[in-house]
C-alpha cells in the first residue's frame, strides 16, 4: 500500500512539473509577443502624454511578468539539475551596463542611474545566471526607488588576486 501511494505521489509530481513547464512556456511566448508589440507601439505611436504614459506603464508591467515567468523557469531548471553553471571570464562593468540598458525605460520618478565599477574589473562566473539575478534585483530597485532617488549597480574586487572574489551589488535610495 505504501509503495503504491509513493508511486502515485511521484506520478503527480511529474505531471505537475510537466504542466508547470508547459504553462511557463506558453506564458513566455505570449509575453514575448506582447513585449515586442508594446515596444513597437511605444516607439511609433505619436499619442498624447497620457497615451504614452499608459503604454510605458503597460510595457513595464509586462516586463515584470516576463521576468517572473523566467524566474519560474529558472527555478524549475535548477531543481531538475538542468542548469549547470558555466564559469567564464566576464567583464563586470559591461554586464552591468547591459542590465541598465534593458531596464532604463522602466526607471521613473526622476531617479538617476549610476554604475560604480572600474572598467577593467573581470570575474570568473556564469555571466548569464548572474545577469539574470541582476535583472531581478534591478527590476525591484526601479519599482522601489524613491522620487528623484538613485539606483547604483556596482562591482568591486572583494579579495585581491586574479582568482579573488568579486562583490556585485544593486542599491537604491528607496525602502
**What is the residue-averaged pLDDT of the chain?**
81
Q: Which helix (H) or strand (E) holds 75?
A: helix 49-79
- Cα–Cα dist 171/152, whole Å: 5
Q: Is pTM, for the whole model, over 0.85?
A: no
- Cα–Cα dist 10/8, whole Å: 5
76-102: pLDDT as tens digits = 666 666 567 788 999 999 999 988 887
- What is the percentage of the chain residues whose pLDDT exceeds 90? 19
50-83: pLDDT as tens digits = 888 888 878 877 877 777 777 676 666 666 665 6
42 burial (CB, 10 Å; 0-12 / 13-18 / 19+) is middle
CA-closest candidate to residue 127, choices 88, 101, 166 = 88
Rg of the chain over all Cα atoms, to the nearest angstrom: 20
129-164: pLDDT as tens digits = 888 888 888 888 888 888 888 999 999 998 766 667
- Cα–Cα dist 48/155, whole Å: 40
Strands 122-125 and 88-91 come out as: antiparallel
Amino acid at each position: 500500500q505504501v509503495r503504491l501511494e509513493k508511486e502515485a505521489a511521484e506520478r503527480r509530481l511529474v505531471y505537475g512539473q510537466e504542466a508547470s513547464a508547459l504553462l511557463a512556456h506558453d506564458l513566455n511566448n505570449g509575453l514575448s509577443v506582447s513585449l515586442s508589440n508594446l515596444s513597437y507601439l511605444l516607439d511609433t505611436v505619436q499619442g498624447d502624454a497620457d497615451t504614452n504614459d499608459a503604454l510605458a506603464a503597460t510595457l513595464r508591467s509586462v516586463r515584470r511578468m516576463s521576468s517572473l515567468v523566467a524566474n519560474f523557469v529558472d527555478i524549475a531548471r535548477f531543481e531538475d539539475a538542468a542548469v549547470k553553471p558555466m564559469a567564464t571570464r566576464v567583464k563586470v562593468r559591461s554586464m552591468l551596463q547591459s542590465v541598465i540598458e534593458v531596464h532604463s525605460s522602466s526607471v521613473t520618478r526622476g531617479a538617476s542611474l549610476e554604475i560604480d565599477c572600474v572598467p577593467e574589473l573581470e570575474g570568473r562566473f556564469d555571466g548569464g545566471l548572474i545577469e539574470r539575478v541582476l535583472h531581478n534585483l534591478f527590476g525591484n530597485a526601479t519599482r522601489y526607488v524613491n522620487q528623484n532617488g538613485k539606483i547604483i549597480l556596482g562591482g568591486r574586487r572583494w579579495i585581491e588576486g586574479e582568482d579573488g572574489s568579486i562583490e556585485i551589488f544593486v542599491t537604491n535610495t528607496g525602502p
